């Protein structure tokens, strides 16, 4: 990284890749902002709609939204209020525990997020056109980077491992401190870690 901003230094492939990822992150943020603006939504409102579409019902609360947005509960509540005023979100007791107020999309909210989705389709098409070996290498690299960010605490986690299709319980009986395995980031997991909520969570299909 010492050579990152030094124009005289030879930029290594890993540094070049990191610069590319930084540009990619900027581009994705820009696209998200633009798509939202075009539909009269702030970036936080777009993220809240995505959260409501994909998070599990028990997590779709003001607290869960605050975690997802990385903000306070008061700010998350303001985002929810704004979406409610637009007729895109509704609050109601969660049917499994009436004490929990859960958030869900209204039919208009479903329509809105459907209109927003597809914002990554062209990038996915670009990746799908790469040779399979390059796609696999890219996936491996991304997994390693996600793992590094997770370990540094820079990626907020949302969904729990138990019930995730990447979770391999007790795959490492030889290491009791980290008995489980995450196939997404290809790393052993400790028991406490499996109770965190993970943004890479994909529910098991069966
Ligand atoms: S992707 Fe996330 S939720 Fe799934 S096993 Fe890995 S760490 Fe757990």
Q: Select the highest-mean-pLDDT range: 27-31, 55-59, 139-143.
A: 27-31
Q: Domain 13-116 - what CATH class?
A: mainly alpha
pLDDT at position 46 = 92
CA of 160 to the centre of ligand 1 (A): 7
Residue 197: which pLDDT band, with cuts at 50, 70 and 90? low
Rounded to whole angstroms, the Cα distance separating 80 from 82 reads 5
CA 184 – ligand 1 centroid, Å: 7
Highest mean pLDDT among 54-63, 110-119, 126-135, 188-197 belongs to 126-135
What is the CA(130)–ligand 1 centre distance, in A? 26
Ligand 1 atom 8: the closest Cα is on which residue?
161
Q: How would residue 153 be classed by pLDDT, with cut points 50, 70 and 90?
A: confident
List residues near ligand 1 (CB under 6 A). Answer: 159, 161, 164, 166-167, 182, 184, 198, 200-201
Distance 164 CA to ligand 1 centre (A): 6
74-81, long-range: CB < 8 A, 24+ apart: 75/44, 76/48, 79/42, 79/44, 79/45, 79/48, 80/48
Question: Is 0.75 topped by the overall pTM?
Answer: no
pLDDT higher than threshold 70 for residue 156: no
Which ligand 1 atom is the nearest neighbour of the CA of 168? Answer: 5
User: Which atom of ligand 1 lies closest to the CA of 160?
Assistant: 3
Read off the pLDDT band of 2 (50, 70, 90): very low
Domain boundaries, the chain: 13-116, 130-195
Count the Cβ atoms, other than its own, within 10 Å of residue 185: 20
**pLDDT digits 0-9 by tens, 76-125:** 999 999 999 999 999 988 777 777 788 999 999 999 988 887 888 899 99
What pLDDT was estimated at residue 118?
A: 83
């Amino acid at each position: 990284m010492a050579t990152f901003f030094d124009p005289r230094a030879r930029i290594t492939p890993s540094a070049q890749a990191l610069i590319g990822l930084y540009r990619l992150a900027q581009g994705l943020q820009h696209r998200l902002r633009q798509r939202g603006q075009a539909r009269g939504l702030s970036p936080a409102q777009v993220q809240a709609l995505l959260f409501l579409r994909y998070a599990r019902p028990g997590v779709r609360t003001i607290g869960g939204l605050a975690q997802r947005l990385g903000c306070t509960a008061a700010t998350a509540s303001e985002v929810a209020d704004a979406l409610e005023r637009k007729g895109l979100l509704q609050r109601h007791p969660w049917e499994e525990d009436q004490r929990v107020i859960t958030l869900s999309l209204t039919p208009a909210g479903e329509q809105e997020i459907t209109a927003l989705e597809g914002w990554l389709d062209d990038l996915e098409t670009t990746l799908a056109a790469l040779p399979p070996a390059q796609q696999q290498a890219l996936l491996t690299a991304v997994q390693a980077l996600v793992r590094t960010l997770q370990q540094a605490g820079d990626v907020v986690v949302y969904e729990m491992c138990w019930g995730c299709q990447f979770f391999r319980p007790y795959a490492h009986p030889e290491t009791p401190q980290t008995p489980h395995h995450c196939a997404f980031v290809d790393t052993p997991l400790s028991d406490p870690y499996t109770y965190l909520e993970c943004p890479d969570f994909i529910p098991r299909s069966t």
